[in-house]
Amino acid sequence: MPKKERALLVALRLPGNNDHEIEDSLDELTQLLHTAGGVVISRVVQDRPKPTPAYFIGKGKAEQIHTVCQESEIDVVVFDDNLTPGQQRNLENLIQCKIIDRTGLILDIFAQRAHTREGKLQVELAQLEYLLPRLIGKGLLLSRLGGGIGTRGPGETQLEVDRRRIRQRIAKIKSDLEAVRKHRKLYREKRQSIPTPVVALVGYTNAGKSTLLNALSGANVAVEDKLFATLDPTTRRIKLPNQQTVLISDTVGFIRKLPHQLVEAFKATLEEVAEADILLHIIDAAHPDIEQQVAAVNGILAELGLENKPAIAVLNKTDKVKNKNLINCLARIAGAKVAIAALNRLNLDKLLHQIERQLQHLLTRISLKLTYEEPSILSLIHRKGRVLNSQYLDDRIIIEAEVDFKTAAIIDSKLNKQC
């Protein structure tokens, strides 16, 4: 078993930041480091009116950290915020230790957890775009001898090549990911030819999305009490109480300060979220900072242009809430419509009924009398809707069906053209 790297965490407390926010963010950074395979030895928080251009923290504090690193045999210093390439180089030269920021740490975790070719491509693209402006000089960060947290992943063989070759590699990956998008589009079009609604699980990382997918579908998705346990998406079929079949997709978890590079690189995967009929926003009831986690997820959905997508907020892990009287209060705070415990399969029936009701809101019922000269309309109803009742008479077809509003408008337009 490889030796765990010893880490020192650094945060800056700016005016307006309270102690709780700083501690909660550092607790999350500790979890990220644990997920990456490191161990936190110490934390440093500095109060400043604003970051310094050269070192992010003050130079005197950086010199103190240099001393602590030598005395405590620190392997890596991790900053809770993003550093500029210049700040990273200056800190590395002064502290004489590997320096990474929050983005670099998250990219490292993604590099470890990407298993499919698509996932590896997306991570490599994000890594290379993050590293490209950091290629000036030969710091510890880019030394292949350094190894460990912040230096792993599909793109590690590109770290010491010149900018031109990296740009060529970025262009090639983007081309490959575009091919992935086209393949996904064809797959979705084929899937959409059969009227099966799609429900996408979204939420903060480690909120219990994979556990819920397993509980609803009997899938065998890996579940760990670590951040970003799921990176590659999984889709399964489930049946609602009314026997309607839906597809449910697990997706990568969100996090505060999610690197922009990852949002961009994972758009091929996140398109599954964009194409879903309903989002299930899974919220961790046991987390002490529910409101900030909900805000972080909503912010990323807004960045993807999905803030108006139909969604059901689901309070999960209620079995971990010791004071059961708090559950209703937490549900109101999070805006949750249903409270469940996926691990214990508690209230999953209520969740399925909620999905059923939400899907019904997206459909409209139509009753038509069609002639046998209108096969395209009949075909459209069978492709895009759900036939509830039909009668085939000598001269006409009487059909009652449920279709989405877009399909209803197309049918209405076709019938009006014939009048």
pLDDT band at 193; cut points 50, 70, 90: low
pLDDT band at 19; cut points 50, 70, 90: confident
User: What pLDDT was estimated at residue 279?
Assistant: 93
pLDDT band at 156; cut points 50, 70, 90: very low
264 vs 244, higher pLDDT: 244
Q: Is the pLDDT of residue 180 over 60?
A: yes
Ranked by mean pLDDT, the top range of 153-157, 271-275, 363-367 is: 363-367
User: What pLDDT was estimated at residue 130?
Assistant: 87
Q: Is the pLDDT of residue 229 over 70?
A: no
Range in 77-81, 234-238, 407-411 with the lowest mean pLDDT = 407-411
Specify the CATH class of 362-418 in words: alpha beta
Please give the CATH number for the structural domain made up of 5-106: 3.40.50.11060
114 vs 228, higher pLDDT: 114
Range in 39-48, 74-83, 383-392 with the lowest mean pLDDT = 383-392
pLDDT digits (tens, 9 = 90+) for 53-84: 999 999 999 999 999 999 999 999 999 999 99
pLDDT band at 268; cut points 50, 70, 90: low
Ranked by mean pLDDT, the top range of 18-22, 49-53, 113-117, 332-336 is: 49-53
Q: Which fold has domain 195-360?
A: Rossmann fold (3.40.50)
Angle made by CA atoms 83, 84, 87, in degrees to the nearest 5: 80
Q: What does the domain layout of the chain look like in residue ranges?
A: 5-106, 195-360, 362-418
Percent of the chain clearing pLDDT 70 (strictly above)? 84
pLDDT digits (tens, 9 = 90+) for 348-379: 999 999 999 888 777 778 888 888 877 888 88
Q: Is the pLDDT of residue 137 over 50?
A: no
Give the pTM. Answer: 0.75
Once rounded to an integer, what is the mean pLDDT over residues 78-92?
93
Q: Is the pLDDT of residue 295 over 80?
A: yes
User: What pLDDT was estimated at residue 233?
Assistant: 67
Same-fold call for 5-106 versus 195-360: yes
Once rounded to an integer, what is the mean pLDDT over residues 185-201?
71
262 vs 54, higher pLDDT: 54
User: What pLDDT was estimated at residue 143?
Assistant: 44
pLDDT band at 258; cut points 50, 70, 90: confident
Once rounded to an integer, what is the mean pLDDT over residues 170-179?
90
Range in 43-52, 75-84, 202-211, 244-253 with the lowest mean pLDDT = 244-253
